Amino acid sequence: MHTFVALDVETANPDYASICAIGAARFKDGLVAEHWYRLIDPLDDFYWRNIDIHGIRERDIDGQPTFEEVSPELVGFVGSDPIVHHGPFDRSAIAKATDRWAMQPLASDFIDSLAMARHAWPHVGPGGYGLRNLCDLMGYELERHHHALDDARAAGAVYLAASERLGEEVVPAFARRILDTESGVQLGLFQDEYRVLVGDVVVFSNESKLRSTHPGLKKELQRQGSQVHQRLGNRTTILVLGDDEWRRERQSSQHQGATRRLAQGQRLEIMSETDFLAMIEQR
């Protein structure tokens, strides 16, 4: 793929629709040709944890346009190019914001560089598949992590490196699209040879509701090549927390246990139910 747009968003609070910044970089023939960045007034409150991550405060977005107002600029910049993003969060946030403002979704294919990275580097070791760790692995200098434009550029670099390792012919296997549906996102499973969770060991926290709300989830995860365990262990690679548990300032005992394992060097990803569902394309 010679031309694509890498995109990253930041949000004011745990509500995915509360986008307060968008960064986008158009890549042509492996290089950034142009970029676009906007601060956005989410018309919502700012949560301290989000501020700690990206540093954007309410005073920074005073007088800035809303997502509805800036959306025509974004659509014009993206055009018909595919969109690369790192992890399910960015695509889900765009879908949620689109729903909130009752707007037409972007017509581009979305390609998750994180999903590609899991196949391109199946054994990255401690640190996992976050942008910072992958950039270190590739020797790419990520200057301002969690600045939407810098993260967009980094996502594009990860995509390029992953597609080189996997072969450009496999890229369509990772393409998804936001559709104009009531839920905002209508997605299917990855092609069998590029299932996103092959070899993973998944644990759902005691507060996660997914096992009751999605009774066929365990069987589907097994079909995708992963295992579901009851407790955290040395083989656990993903811990799924309840959405409220993920947002809570005081970590649950399982969250604390996973954090300790991360500090000890275990390759382990901690995510909310919403992020997990978006990742496995079950939304």
Domain ranges of the chain: 3-177, 195-279
pTM comes to 0.73
Q: What pLDDT, in 10s, does the model give residues 3-42?
A: 999 999 999 987 889 999 999 999 999 999 999 999 999 9
Would you give per-residue pLDDT tens digits along the chain (283 residues)? 689 999 999 999 878 899 999 999 999 999 999 999 999 999 999 998 889 989 999 999 999 999 999 999 999 999 999 999 998 788 888 988 998 888 888 888 899 898 888 888 877 765 678 899 899 999 999 989 999 999 999 999 999 999 999 888 878 777 777 644 433 333 333 334 444 566 778 999 999 998 788 888 888 788 767 889 999 998 888 899 998 898 787 889 999 998 888 777 777 778 888 878 876 653 3
Class of domain 195-279: alpha beta
Task: Give, for 218, the enclosing helix (H) or strand (E).
Answer: helix 217-223
DSSP result, 43-105: SSPPPHHHHHHH---GGGGTTPPPHHHHHHHHHHHHTT--EEESSHHHHHHHHHHHHHTT-PP
Among the four given CATH numbers 3.30.420.10, 1.10.8.60, 3.50.50.60, 3.20.20.450, the one describing domain 3-177? 3.30.420.10
